Amino acid sequence: MNIPLSSPDITDLERRYVLEVLTTPNLSLGPRLTEFENRLADYAGVKHAVAVNSGTSALHLVVRALEIGEGDEVITTPFSFISSANCILFERARPVFVDIEPFTLNIDSSLVEKAITRRTRAILAVDVFGHPAEWNQLSLLAEAYKLRLIEDSAEAIGSEYHDRRCGSFGDAAVFAFYPNKQITTGEGGAILTDNDTTAKLCRSMRNQGRSDGNGWLQHTRLGFNYRLSDINCALGIAQLRRIEEILIARDRVARLYNERLEGLPQVRVPQVACGMKMSYFVYVIRLSDDYTSEDRARILQELQTRGIGCSDYFVPIHLQPVYRELGYREGDFPVTEAVAARTIALPFYNSLHAEEVDYVVSQLRELL
């Protein structure tokens, strides 16, 4: 078999919506952008959604809109895609990492308070792999210390924290729509917020700093070309219309893996905390402590040789070369490092068949 790690779920509905845009003169900043933003805001349960060209761009604009800058500190997790920390460096602020807890792999909220200093301006937590962070505890800390709270929900559209959808917590949140996400716009992201000023600033900055009512060559503030085209938005609208069936399909695949991996002592399957609904972004297992990172590397290589798309997920951010230059070293965040050395992302997408899951698990069992 040849089974990719991920594959987008595109139907005739998506193709029709995209082709309809191509018959109009509105390829960017047109009506599909507004429609997509309104649908996203309604889905997340917030007042505003601001669509941009990537989740990274969304995080960057949130940091700027919340006036986080040089000399400021932002508490965040070292176990995430690198954008969640890079967006802090973009504005010459300093990411302050806090280790994760080993059950959900999210930032350990019990360690956050110890990391707060007089320079701390915000907490940026991540809903890792689609599992919601502990938003109640993080909100209480942010309120007590008068900090901004940012939700990186790039991997968690459709997830719920005690019956409240991810993307609706804190001062602002972000979604991302890369092709391996639950829904895709090809490339794209969005800012979610209830704050009128934050939304207005983000809309201006994504469009070269232009403001409502000004001419095309009038720029109120420093901005960027972070726009998302109507072509991308049309794809997103169709995907958002199908999101419930998409989430059901992904949950089905996760359940297939859970059933077939049950009782395998060398593997720990994803855990979901009580009161949470997890919208699976990826399906990541962890090898037991008996395995080393070198063992994991050999297993990954052999799975790929057998036609199975797989990957480590994630490399700790603080051990990436650019962050080592800031002084981070092995041993700084032991839980993150122990988890990251043993993770394996298995093939995961909506149309994955039971027979393909059987093949993946049988090959994994043999290698273990």
Q: Domain holding 54: CATH number?
A: 3.40.640.10
Q: Are residues 236 and 262 in the same domain?
A: no
Q: Are residues 179 and 155 in the same domain?
A: yes
Q: What is the pLDDT of residues 354-366, one digit of tens each?
A: 999 999 999 999 9
Q: Are residues 268 and 232 in the same domain?
A: no
State the pLDDT confidence band at 212, using cuts at 50, 70 and 90. Answer: confident
Residue 253 belongs to what domain range?
A: 243-367
Q: Tell me: pLDDT of 214 over 90.
A: no
| Geometric angle at alpha carbon 161, from 105 and 85, rounded to 5° | 45
What's the pTM value of the predicted model, to 2 decimals?
A: 0.97
Retrieve residue 8's tokens: 């987008």
In a domain, 7, yes or no: no
Q: Tell me: pLDDT of 167 over 90.
A: yes
Q: Are residues 355 and 209 in the same domain?
A: no
Q: Tell me: pLDDT of 180 over 90.
A: yes
pLDDT for the residue 213: 83
pLDDT for the residue 344: 98
Q: Are residues 217 and 247 in the same domain?
A: no
Q: Tell me: pLDDT of 221 over 90.
A: yes
User: How many domains does the structure of the chain reveal?
Assistant: 2
State the pLDDT confidence band at 171, using cuts at 50, 70 and 90. Answer: very high
Q: Domain holding 272: CATH number?
A: 3.90.1150.10
Average pLDDT of the chain, as a whole number: 97
Q: Nearest 10 degrees: CA dihedral of 85, 88, 90, 93?
A: -130
3-state secondary structure the chain: CCECCCCCCCCHHHHHHHHHHHCCCCCECCHHHHHHHHHHHHHHCCCEEEEECCHHHHHHHHHHHCCCCCCCEEEECCCCCCHHHHHHHHCCCEEEECCECCCCCCECHHHHHHHCCCCEEEEEEECHHHCCCCHHHHHHHHHHCCCEEEEECCCCCCCEECCEECCCCCCEEEEECCCCCCCCCCCCEEEEECCHHHHHHHHHHHECCCCCCCCCCCCCCCCCECCCEHHHHHHHHHHHHCHHHHHHHHHHHHHHHHHHHCCCCCEECCCCCCCEECCCCCEEEEECCCCCHHHHHHHHHHHHHCCECCECCCCCHHHCHHHHCCCCCCCCCHHHHHHHCCEEEECCCCCCCHHHHHHHHHHHHHHC
- Averaged pLDDT for residues 329-333: 97
Q: Are residues 236 and 247 in the same domain?
A: no
Domain edge (last residue) among 219, 241, 263: 241
